[in-house]
Chains A and B, each alone.
Chain A
């Protein structure tokens, strides 16, 4: 008897899912892969996260396309696992299921006023300006003169740039049309970026930090006192600081030494060792109260920010974007590690609460390791998960699905989700977006509503 070809469902068509599909096709040419995606479009945060002014990075989608969809991997867009199709249904139809669902929500600050209109997660702003269909109707008050961004990572850098780039610069990108319109009218002329810890502990890459100081018509301001390192940070930087950490401190000192530019249209101010304690306002954000911190070293050598017993300072502002980290949400019927916000796993094999491998269930990307690393990190991550999956396939330890074959899952999808977006539908969306981009001399003009996306996909 000849065995059927193994069939694998990958849930989530973001970078982790794409790298996993490409890697699995290289490892096992006989595997049939279905790549599920909640949205009508693939590539996850490469499309909906990477900032519009970083177009060069979006070229990675060509590689993803060639190495997955171009090699027979099926795209099943507009299907949400856990809602349209359950985990147990997937397990009945596939030899293995790989979860690559990422981290779909953001961490909160846990301070009063965080839920005021005008106080938002930076990730919501990112999804809005990148044309994620679920976020297009959000409104951001850009009629105010000052915004505060909380966080010192690359998402904080991205939103800071998007708030300060000139309309002329934005027009050359694939920013969503609704965001372009709103940002054209923006009256924000100052963005204050707050870091809980000091200059030596920022999570920016030195390339992104440098970029903040080289935006056309934008002044960067850093208080020289803020870049005087405390003794703990100085010792840590010399002994354990990475190349990037040292470059960042050097870069911040250069910013601090720059003369003032009163003529600049917009200003970015980076402030360190400050934590928000309350966001205040009635009906909107009027101000944010912040408190100074100092750096201390814990017994296990970690550097932490500890609040100082000092007066609270009030910054008047009309918009607060918090960017203190992504967080994964549990998936229905799949084990979840509540403390680390990941699927419990060993090298990508998902584990039961008892710590035993759950046969045929795998994880890759942020839902496996937490929201860390950059795009390419997912490649090594995918290689690890795929090597476990390939080992299990080779060893024959995975149970045969009870309802195998492509026809059966297609029949189920046909009932549940008549408007599933297949590769042809995505190609139609892609072609239309690129075509609109050409006529406006932009890299791409995104279709940003679910209805428009689905209607375009249906035209195939």
Chain B
């Protein structure tokens, strides 16, 4: 499984600080941070710890098997986002 951020994300970056494996992108300062409409969790790195769920002030993060129906499309959007993100950006701390 993995956790997924839905379109309610307000880009409060508490989830990034809470993530023990640093798998939430883009990060403040990254070239695509300002234009990003939300943050995304890298499913290949996520360890399903749920720290980000606790950190999110608007409850925008769900386990992939518990996403409300109206947000289900975000799984595809998330996959597209990471398909485009370069390996360098993905692994940069």
A positions within 8 Å CB-CB of B: 54, 56-57, 59-60, 62-63, 205-208, 210-211, 214, 242-245, 247, 373-377, 379-380
Contacts and interface: CB of A to CB of B under 8 A. Distances in A.
B65 to A, nearest CB: 19
20 contacts: A56-B58, A57-B58, A59-B59, A60-B10, A60-B12, A205-B7, A206-B7, A208-B7, A210-B73, A214-B70, A242-B35, A242-B36, A243-B32, A243-B84, A375-B10, A375-B12, A376-B9, A379-B12, A379-B13, A380-B28
B32 to A, nearest CB: 7
Interface in B23-77: 28, 32, 34-38, 57-60, 70, 73, 77
Given A57-B58, A59-B57, A375 B36 contact: no
B90 interface: no
Q: Is the interface of B mostly helix, strand, loop or mixed?
A: loop
Given A62-B57, A210-B73, A247-B77, A57 B36 contact: no
Given A63-B57, A207-B38, A376-B9, 6 more contacts: A57-B8, A214-B70, A243-B84, A376-B11, A376-B13, A380-B28
Contacts of A373: 34
- Which 8 A-B pairs have CB atoms at the shortest separation, nearest pair first? A207-B7, A376-B11, A242-B35, A205-B37, A375-B10, A63-B57, A376-B12, A376-B10
Interface of B: 7-13, 28, 32, 34-38, 57-60, 70, 73, 77, 80-81, 84
A247 B36 CA distance: 12
A206 B40 CA distance: 14
Contacts of B70: 214
Of the candidates A57, A211, A243, the one having the most CB atoms from chain B within 10 angstroms of its own CB is: A243
A56 B38 CA distance: 15
Contacts, number: 64
Given A375-B10, A376-B12, A59 B81 contact: no
A56 B59 CA distance: 7
A207 B58 contact: no
Contacts of A242: 32, 35-36
Nearest to B74: A207
B57 A60 contact: yes
B92 to A, nearest CB: 17
Contacts of B7: 205-208, 210-211
Contacts of A247: 77, 80
A59 B58 contact: yes
A60 B13 contact: no
Contacts of B60: 56
B8 A243 contact: no
A56 B11 contact: no
Q: Which of A57, A206, A207 has the largest count of B CB atoms less than 10 A from its CB?
A: A207
A415 to B, nearest CB: 38
A214 B70 CA distance: 9
A243 B78 CA distance: 11
Contacts of A380: 13, 28
Contacts of B9: 376
Contact of B11 (A210, A214, A245, A377): A377
B15 to A, nearest CB: 10
B35 A244 contact: yes
B37 A207 contact: yes
Contacts of B28: 380
A243 B36 contact: yes
B85 to A, nearest CB: 9
Contacts of B10: 57, 60, 374-376
B58 A60 contact: yes
Contacts of A60: 10, 12, 57-58
Contact of B37 (A59, A206, A211): A206
Nearest to A247: B77
Nearest to B8: A56
A56 B37 CA distance: 16
Nearest to A244: B37
